[in-house]
Every structure is written in C-alpha cells, then in structure tokens.
Amino acid sequence: MLVRLYPSHPNTRATCAAYHYRRGRRCLLEPPIAGKLNFALKLCLCPDRRSATEQSMANNSISINVSDDDTEDPSGRMRVRVRRKRKKPGLRRRLDFTQKIVSILLKWWPALLLLIAVTLLVYEAIKIGGGESHSSPKVKNLDKVVTGGSGKPQGNLNRLDPTTRIVRGVRERCLKLLPPEELEHLDLPKDVDSFGPVKKLVYITANATYEEGKFNLSKEYLEGTRFNLFTGSQTLEQREQNFKVTETAGVHCGFYSDNGGYSISDEDKSYMQTCKVVVSTCAFGGGDDLYQPIGMSEASLQKVCYVAFWDEITLATQEAQGNKVDENHFIGKWRVILVRDLPFRDQRLNGKIPKMLPHRLFPNARYSIWVDSKSQFRRDPLGVLEALLWRSNDELAISEHGARSSVYDEAKAVVRKNKATPEEVEVQMAQYRQDGLPEDKRFNGKKALAEASIIVRKHTPMTNLFMCLWFNEVVRFTSRDQLSFPYVLWRLKGLTNINMFPVCTRKDLVNSMGHIRKAKPLTN
C-alpha cells in the first residue's frame, strides 16, 4: 500500500522522504503533472501502515497534480535524491591549497631536483674549502704555547681534527697519514745519490771563482738595485746561464759575502749542523707570535729539529709579552735562532732566506718543512714526509693556489690588494712575457701557481738549484713569491718530481692563525 503525498516545495519533498524513510517506508517521488495551479507538486509514494478503514478512505481520495509549468517531464518517476551535506569552507580551502602544491610539484620537479643538487654541491664545497670538522677536542698539556698578548680569541689553535673532502661520492681525508703505531716506528729512508740531471751545485760567492771570475760590487751599483753583499749582483746574462741544467751547476744563492749580513752565532750554527730533518719558521720585525707544533710522534721528537728564526725586534716583542727564551735557547719545542744584521730593509725579503734557502742554513739536513709564522704546524713531520714525498717518490711538495691559475691574473690581484707597486709588478710581468711564459701555466695537469705557506722538500742538487733560482727572482723583482714560482718551474726543465697537493691538504697540515701584527721594517 502506497500513500500519495503532494509536497509542493523541494525542502518539503526532502522532508517527506526523510520522514517516511526513518519509519521504514519506501517513498517515491513522482514527476509533477501539468496542472492549472501556480505551484508544483510531486507525488511521494510511501508504504502505509494505517488501519484498513484509514486505508479505504485513502483509496477514495483523489490525486491532484498542480504545476505552473506546462512542460511535461518525460523522465517519469525519480528516486529521492537526498541533499548532500556541504563541506566546511576551511576544509575546502585546505584541499584547494594542497591540490595547487601538488600541481606545482608535478610541473616543476626537474627544476626542484636541480636546485637540491646545486645546494648540496655548494654545501660540500663550503665544507671542503672552508674547513674542517671542528668536533675533535683540543690538545691539552702542551709544554708551552705562545699565543701572544693580544687577548684575541684564537679558535683554530691546537686543533687536531682532520680535514676531509668528497672524492667520487666518498668522504676521505685530505692528508692520508700512516696509523699512529706505524708513525712511531717510521725512520728516514737510506740516503742515496740523486738521479736528477744536476750532480753538483756550486754557489757563487765573492771568495769563489766560477767562470766569469770574482765579482766586484760598486757602492753606486748596490744603492741603485735590490742586490747587496748578501745576494751578489746577478746580471741578466748570468740569470740565463743559471737556468741551464748541467751536471755541475753554478748559481747565485745568497750568502755572497761574509759581510753580507744574516749573522748567526757559532753556537747556533753548531746546533743547525746537527739537524737531519728540520721544521722551520721565522718572525722578523715582531710581526707574529710563535705557535707550538702539535700532533707529532715521540719518534719525530727525537729525530726532528724545530727551529724558529727571530731578529732582535721579535725577541724584544715576545719578552715584553712574557715569552722568555730559556737558557738552552728553547721556547717549548722550538729552538730559537737569533739573527743579527739582516740584509734587507724589507722584512718580507729577510723572511725569504730561511724559507727558500734552508739548504744553506742547514748544510747536513736531508729534508726540510717550511711553515709560515701565521700558521701552527699540527702533524707528525716524518708522517708528512712519508705521505707527500716518500710514498710518491717526489722531491718537492707545495700547495696549489686556491683562487687562480694564471700568473698574470695573480699579478693583477697583487697590485689590486696593494701588496706590491704596479711599477715593479709590471717590470716582472714584462720580462716573463718576453721570455714566453704562458698565460695559464700547468704542471702535470695541475696548477703551476702555488701557495707557498708550506714547503716540504728533499735536499737534492736539483731542488737546491730550484730554490736558489726562485730566491734570485724574488730579489730581482718583487717579494711576492707566487709570481715567480711558476716561471722558475717552467724554465727549469729538469725538476719533474713535484707534488702540487690540493688546498685541503694544506689545511690539514696547519692551523691558520693569520698575521697578528705588521712587521716593523729596518731603519738602517
């Protein structure tokens, strides 16, 4: 039995259907019947549970379809469509926002992947170029660390943590030293004759005759040049002759005259003659403090000399800060060598003597490691020799330049940073262009432009000749040794066993502290 109801409003129809549905009745809505009235009624058919009398009365009722629309609905009967509950506006906005984000990601995912890759590369470059992981603890219980009286924080001091880099997706240490237990048993290799083209090196002095005979230096000539009684007067013809590699090579190499300066006491000379392996540094003009070496093995302490060259200005500066040299001429592990009568007014030139001519200062040394005074040496010396020289059968190891590869670009940077006058730099570059030095000099596929704050080398006739020629270029032109290194390397064809190690290896060798104060020039 179905009951026909005629709700006229859509809401009423929905209410009708819902009402009977809750009571278990089946309701149908019939389409409106064209009528004469001005409102539409739809038929709602629902099962009736009334009494028989009520049902009989309902059967006698008449269905009236009223509509103000003459158009007939051909669809016939329809099921009730219950109105859906509207979603909240906040939820809809969140869904729309999520859909937009997903659409953007699907559209631009290649660019996003590229951005992530570039970010990772920049991050790794900063870690490799900038520095080390600083998680390792500092060294404790040093004999004595001279840090000066500046009172400035020195965060790099005494750090031993290794410097690492990414190679083929794998992080590895820049300086691959032997394990500590092997370093303790490391010894110098047997001394063998050099296999280089130079067998004997003869140093030109005022008291020695070599080809052209003795050199007489006039006072007028010396006053008009950077040459003096320490350097001798190397002419351009002699300069060309010095670059020729022969079994017996003659070369200007400082210490030209006994009256040339750089005076050292006999006691200090005797000590220096005992050194077979030496780590050296210098501070002239009171410029920098002295940082104690760290990270060495007990074997190295027994076999390696640590020598610091000071002048009287630096000695007075350090004593004023409470850093006293003991009765044995030591401060911590450093043996202090006092130098008097420095030959140059320019303290940078005076510093080139122990830096480039250790074979003249330590006549019996087989190996030397130079460390600039702005740095703290933090590795085992014998381990460094093994890693940079012995393992690869090299005779000289020096760091690549971190910023440039062209000597001519470096010359522009030197002038721009006011590290040399434009006139003297131009004289040097003009000579190098005339000699044919290429713009971008390479050596074994690596940069020939070097950063010479650390020099590790074996003392052989060939490397000694190289250092003498390098020193002569620095004296003749500018004290910026980066400008002359690639030229000497290019001209001296016989030296091939050179290890141009990357910048990160240099960072692993030392803690860089920077220059503390400007060195005072000599006034007389």
- What CATH number does the domain containing 479 carry? 3.90.550
In whole angstroms, give the CA distance from residue 93 to residue 74: 39
Domain-embedded: residue 141: no
Last residue of a domain, one of 24, 55, 85: 85
Question: What pLDDT sits at residue 154?
Answer: 61
Q: Compute the residue count for the chain.
A: 524
pLDDT in single tens digits along all 524 residues of the chain:
444 444 444 445 555 555 555 555 555 444 554 444 444 444 444 444 444 444 444 444 444 444 444 444 444 444 555 555 555 555 566 667 778 888 887 888 788 888 888 888 777 666 554 444 433 334 443 444 444 444 444 678 999 999 999 888 899 999 999 999 999 999 999 887 777 899 999 999 987 544 433 444 444 444 446 788 999 989 999 999 999 999 999 999 999 999 999 999 999 999 999 999 999 999 999 878 999 999 999 999 999 999 999 999 999 999 999 999 999 999 999 999 999 999 999 999 999 999 999 999 999 999 999 999 999 999 999 999 999 999 999 999 999 988 888 899 999 999 999 999 999 999 999 999 999 998 877 776 777 899 999 999 999 999 999 999 999 999 999 999 999 999 999 999 888 899 999 999 999 999 998 777 777 777 65
Residue 190 has which token pair? 């047997």
- Digit-coded pLDDT (tens) for 255-291: 999 999 999 999 999 999 999 999 999 999 987 899 9
Strand 2-5 and strand 43-47: the pairing is antiparallel
Give yes or no: residues 71 and 184 share one domain: no
Last residue of a domain, one of 60, 85, 110: 85
Q: What element of type H or E holds 171? A: strand 170-173
Give yes or no: residues 77 and 199 share one domain: no
Q: Are 174 and 502 in contact (CB under 8 A)?
A: yes
Domain-embedded: residue 422: yes
Nearest to residue 400, comparing CAs of 462, 348, 453?
Answer: 453
Contacts of 279 (CB under 8 A, 6+ apart): 293, 304, 305, 306, 307, 368, 369, 371, 377, 381
Question: What pLDDT sits at residue 126?
Answer: 62
Domain-embedded: residue 246: yes
- Digit-coded pLDDT (tens) for 163-178: 999 888 899 999 999 9
Domain-embedded: residue 519: no
Give yes or no: residues 276 and 417 share one domain: yes
- Quote the domain boundaries for residue 69: 1-85
Domain-embedded: residue 111: no
Question: What pLDDT sits at residue 477?
Answer: 95
If one counts the domains in the chain, the total is: 2
Give yes or no: residues 60 and 201 share one domain: no
Any idea what DSSP says for residue 224?
Answer: T
Domain-embedded: residue 481: yes
Last residue of a domain, one of 85, 112, 129: 85
Question: What pLDDT sits at residue 101?
Answer: 82
Domain-embedded: residue 414: yes
Residue 384 has which token pair? 């460094």
SS3 content of the chain, % helix, strand, coil (to 5): 35, 15, 50
Instruction: Annotate 79-142 with three-state secondary structure.
Output: CCCCCCCCCCHHHHHHHHHHHHHHHHHHHHHHHHHHHHHHHHHHHHHHHHHHCCCCCCCCCCCC
Question: What pLDDT sits at residue 72?
Answer: 45
